[in-house]
Amino acid sequence: MVSSSSPSNNKVAVVTGSSSGIGYETALTLARNSFLTYATMRSLNKSENVKSIAAKENLPIRITQLDVTDSVSINNAVQAILSETGRIDVLVNNAGYVLDGAFEDLSMDEIKAQYETNVFGLIRTTQAVLPAMRKQKSGTIVNISSIAGRIGYPGGSAYISTKFAVEGLSESMAYELEPFGIKVIIIEPGVIRTNIFNSVVVAKKSQDPNSPYAQIKQKVASSFERMMKNASSPEIVAKVVLEAVTNENPDLRYLAGKDAKTWLDAKRNMSDKDFYKMMKQNMM
């Protein structure tokens, strides 16, 4: 753990998946704005970049090991944070990855692993912090979803379904937690320039050039390559998170990124049939 001196009255934020990308930028942004920030990650071997910037800028960041797929790891981290600070004001559920492959090519084990991180990991971590938030009668849960939590596309059925799950879960939680002074916020990034696409897990069967879906996969990959050229930076998402958690009356949903609003506006303004045709033209 690395810590930097900070006022005792700082709000406490916990960010999962902070070693890179959106989680990394969010942890830095919150710390730069006076949050005592626990940048958590599965492997502390990936903490050097956060440590370096925290030391250079004298940021109130503390590095903590937390694996969202491991209940013991989560509980140990949360209890350690509560022992040090006595409270948790913001939880940013960011940890996740993309499983790529046509639905028929996905094994059940691959799908389960995707849900373990993207959905059940979020659930475990949130349930671990809720008793403390209820006790303090305040708190904010930020769930990093995706525009893919509102819109499907070919080759992403596993990942997209986890984000749709996060959307529905978050909506339901919002009703339940409001009486306890706890807010729920959904952040929906578009295509963001992070290493999540470099670390995509490709389904085993989908790697077979003889897969009946190989041609579709190739076209979708080419489409994403084009979109990545105009992708937004993860700093944009971090700024949206900061805006949301510092708003006394935040919205339930926030879009983040250049393309997110464009896609969602098209989805809202077109019939399902017309939107389907447009997606085929753009992605396939």
Which residue is catalytic, options 159, 175, 213, 254?
Answer: 159
Q: How far is CA 245 from CA 11, 14, 29, 44, 60, in A?
A: 11, 12, 12, 26, 17
For residue 234, the one-letter residue type is: P
State the residue for tokens 């992403």. Answer: 156
Element (H, E) at 272: helix 272-283
Angle (CA) 197-26-112 rounded to 5° is 45
State the residue for tokens 């819109």. Answer: 151
User: From start to end of the chain, where are the E strands?
Assistant: 12-15, 36-41, 61-65, 90-93, 99-100, 139-144, 182-189, 201-202, 253-256
The answer to whether residue 213 is catalytic is no
Contact 33, 90 (CB under 8 A): no
What is Dmax (Cα atoms) for the chain? 60
Cite the active site residues: 159
